[in-house]
């Protein structure tokens, strides 16, 4: 909490009045500042935050009305309370003029000590209350910002955890869990009149030789390269997943024609069969592999198990028939 003493500015062009006011305010527990003219008063107001300004009305060059007007028009000073100290208290015209200029109260000369102390006490208590309120608001704002950051970080962590739970750590592709979720969603959509699709299962021919012959690091680099090639040759609406090991699956959306599905899988076989150069440590390891792909079309009323079994069986038929080829399942 800010423990600084509140500040009071006394503005009067008569030195004797400043001395008298200083004496009267000695018990106020405030830090007293003094100015003998309007310009000095404005400079002090810009440099300090005052709980109260006691302003003499009758001053040469710039009178109290002008000073109050300039203070009230400044955005940073407009809430500073001003009490006019004047012998013209009974003049209603001047009193209205003072209120219009920004004064909140008047004290008549000669100054009554009890009245002065009472009014000063009220404004100092108001200043302290506003300071406490502002402190509470600042603390609340800081806490809200902290909570916002905490919520954002928690959301980010939850999204990260969900992503890690749903994606393959090596290739970044959807894993078996997320792929099943999307496949079941596609089945439900197609069974209720939505677009049809095809399901492809893909197994790498020759991966074991690379993995065993050059080590797991080479095998990992090969899997990442394969995943990148498959992902680049499929559409944004498709889903490519790594099911585990060297086995991948592809959800070919908006595909209802067997020949079109086979043509897309043949193109994948060709791109996967192109030579690789694997960068492992300081070595560049050449590799050649192939892919056996089984693809099956969605049929009205299909369920998850039938589609998967059909694509899986077609993939093994592709392996039995010589590998590096695509077979359409039934």
Is the separation of the CB atoms in 130 and 51 below 8 Å? no
DSSP category for residue 150: H
Is the separation of the CB atoms in 264 and 252 below 8 Å? yes
DSSP category for residue 174: B
pLDDT for 80 = 85
What torsion, rounded to 10 degrees, do the Cα atoms 229, 235, 239, 243 define? -20
Q: DSSP alpha helices (H): ranges in the chain?
A: 15-24, 38-47, 64-73, 92-101, 113-166, 176-191, 207-214, 216-232, 258-273, 304-320
pTM of the predicted model, to two decimals? 0.60
User: Per the residue annotation, which of 168, 205, 238, 246 is the catalytic one?
Assistant: 246
- CA dist 285 → 259, 280, 289 (Å): 36, 7, 13
Is the separation of the CB atoms in 81 and 52 below 8 Å? yes
Spatial distance between the Cα atoms of 221 and 55, rounded to a whole number of angstroms: 81
Tell me the HSE value of 279 on the side-chain side, using a 13 A CA sphere. 0
pLDDT for 1 = 43
SS3 85: strand
Bridge partner residues of 52 (DSSP): 8
Tell me the HSE value of 177 on the side-chain side, using a 13 A CA sphere. 7
For the question of residue 254 being annotated catalytic, the response is no
Residues of the chain with pLDDT under 70: 1-3, 88-103
pLDDT in tens, 50-89: 989 998 888 888 888 888 888 888 877 778 888 888 875 5
């Amino acid at each position: 909490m800010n423990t600084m003493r509140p500040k009071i500015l006394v503005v009067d062009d008569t030195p004797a009045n400043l001395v008298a006011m200083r004496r009267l305010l000695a018990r106020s527990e405030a830090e007293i500042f003094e100015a003998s003219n309007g310009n000095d008063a404005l400079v002090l107001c810009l440099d300090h935050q005052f709980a109260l300004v006691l302003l003499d009305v009758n001053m040469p060059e710039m009178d109290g009305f002008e000073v109050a007007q300039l203070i009230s028009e400044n955005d940073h000073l407009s809430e500073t309370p001003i009490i006019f100290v004047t012998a013209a208290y009974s003049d209603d015209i001047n009193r209205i003029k003072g209120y219009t200029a920004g004064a909140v109260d008047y004290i008549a000369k000669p100054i009554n000590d009890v009245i002065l102390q009472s009014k000063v006490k009220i404004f100092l208590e108001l200043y302290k209350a506003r300071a406490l309120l502002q402190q509470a608001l600042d603390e609340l704002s800081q806490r809200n910002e902290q909570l916002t950051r905490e919520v954002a970080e928690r959301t980010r962590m939850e999204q990260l955890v969900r992503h890690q739970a749903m994606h393959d750590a090596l290739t970044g592709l959807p894993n078996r869990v997320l792929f099943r979720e999307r496949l079941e969603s596609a089945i439900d959509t197609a069974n209720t009149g939505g677009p049809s699709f095809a399901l492809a299962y893909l197994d790498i021919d020759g991966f074991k030789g690379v993995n065993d012959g050059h080590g797991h690091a080479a095998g990992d680099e090969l899997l990442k390269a394969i995943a990148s090639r498959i992902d680049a040759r499929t559409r944004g609406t498709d889903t490519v997943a790594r099911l585990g090991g060297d086995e991948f699956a592809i959800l070919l959306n908006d595909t209802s024609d067997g020949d079109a599905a086979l043509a897309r899988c043949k193109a994948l076989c060709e791109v996967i069969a192109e030579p690789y150069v694997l960068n492992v440590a300081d070595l560049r390891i050449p590799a050649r592999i192939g892919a056996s792909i089984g693809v099956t079309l969605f049929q009205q009323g299909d369920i998850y198990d039938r589609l998967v079994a059909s694509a899986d069986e077609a993939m093994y038929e592709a392996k039995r028939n010589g590998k590096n080829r695509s077979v359409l399942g039934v």
